[in-house]
Amino acid sequence: MNASTSALLALGAAALLALASCAGQGAAPRTDNPGGSAAPTAEHGTPAKGGAQAGDLTVADAWLAEPAQPSMTAGYLTITNNGDGPVALTEAATSLSDRTELHTVETTESGASQMTPVDTIPVPAGGTVELASGGLHLMVLDMPRPPRVGDTATITLTFDNGATVHVEAPVLERAGSGGH
């Protein structure tokens, strides 16, 4: 009896391992996991990114990255100008700190990526500008308290035509390895 009991236990262990590896790929439905290992991110779904509209300007897909350093993070969004004339984003602010800059990322001659402040971000008439990882972004600096994933912050955008757009942006995990 001992031998067959051992064999059954071994089979049971193998079945558990198979289940565990399925769950690890995120494709399996949620199962009880008393071990409490990290949950697959696929189960969280994608939190809604922020959007707002003011006059001819539409802001969509606004979000803030989980800070890689406690005092600074980056914000991303898309601006569409439905008007007949060009506008430019001249200023950004957030509820996270008193200091937000407009940045872009340039590649130096040596091939390294380097952030550079820009004075304005132009949006042509009928055009869309995307602030996204690896390019233009909002740089939030001097945060007294780092926000966490799940928090929401207000981003305020000021344009050279006098328009101001407020958008509620969730703090989300960075996809991939981070950086700007």
Q: Which residues bind Cu ion (CB under 5 A)?
A: 103, 115, 139
Cβ closest to Cu ion, residue 115 vs residue 163:
115
Least Å from the CB of residue 48 to Cu ion: 24
Least Å from the CB of residue 114 to Cu ion: 10
- Tokens representing 23? 């769950």
Cβ atoms of 90 and 119 closer than 8 Å: yes
Cβ closest to Cu ion, residue 12 vs residue 179:
179
Dihedral of alpha carbons 137, 141, 144, 145, sign: positive
Least Å from the CB of residue 113 to Cu ion: 10
Distance of CA 159 to the CA centre of its chain: 23
Cβ atoms of 90 and 155 closer than 8 Å: no
Least Å from the CB of residue 66 to Cu ion: 15
Cβ closest to Cu ion, residue 49 vs residue 137:
137
Residue found under tokens 């004339």: 85
Cβ closest to Cu ion, residue 52 vs residue 115:
115
